[in-house]
Structure 1
Amino acid sequence: MPGIVANLYNANGVFVASSITNIEGIFAFSNLTAGENYSVHFTTDLDPCGVNLADAYLLLNYLNGKIELTDLQLKAADVNGDTQVNYADFSFIVSQWYIHGEDFPAGEWVLPVWTFTASG
């Protein structure tokens, strides 16, 4: 996905550098110290137009015990931001977001944090 900001932090949480993903979703950092640990935190202000009723149906299947969700999917499913994934989230997606167009209280995007050790 293009236009995602990738912020690089060292092991102490100090900001090191920033990069923006290209049209293919690729980003890079240079001059990293081999053997050092880093984390990349992603942010964006892009329109999250990917949520639809299929997502609500997926959540309903999870709530009814028919499927499992990944950790990232569970984080995204907590649309009201109460740290629980339950029928309140499903209800918000269907009624508040889909019908009334309200923004998700937890924010629009759930992006991963990547950690790695630089190699030389």
Structure 2
Amino acid sequence: MSFSGTIVHADVYSIHYDRELWAPEDPYMFIPERHSSKRHPMAYLPFGAGPRHCVGMRFALIEMKILLVRLLREYLIVSGEHLENKLNIREGTVIAPEEIWIKLVKRSD
């Protein structure tokens, strides 16, 4: 097996507390607003990265998919009475409604 490029080994602690990545604030202080600014995508690695990243994250995603499949097999999703007036779409790069009002109706088949 051949690799092209440079392999860099670094522990997550030294990345999360690197002053160059998290300046001008002190990386040892809890400042939630620091995450609103654009940073390198690998500056914050709560689940790791690459092919061996957190198995817990993969497990949680699989659980959500299984829940959705089981829900859709047993229930029909129909619009609720407040759907049209509560579908306030926020402006931005992602279209994500603040609320979605639906009803779940048990399937008869």
Task: Report the TM range for the smaller structure's normalisation.
Answer: under 0.3
- Give the structure with higher Rg (CA): 2
Task: Determine which structure has the larger strand proportion and give its number.
Answer: 1
State TM-score, norm by structure 2.
Answer: 0.21
State TM-score, norm by structure 1.
Answer: 0.20
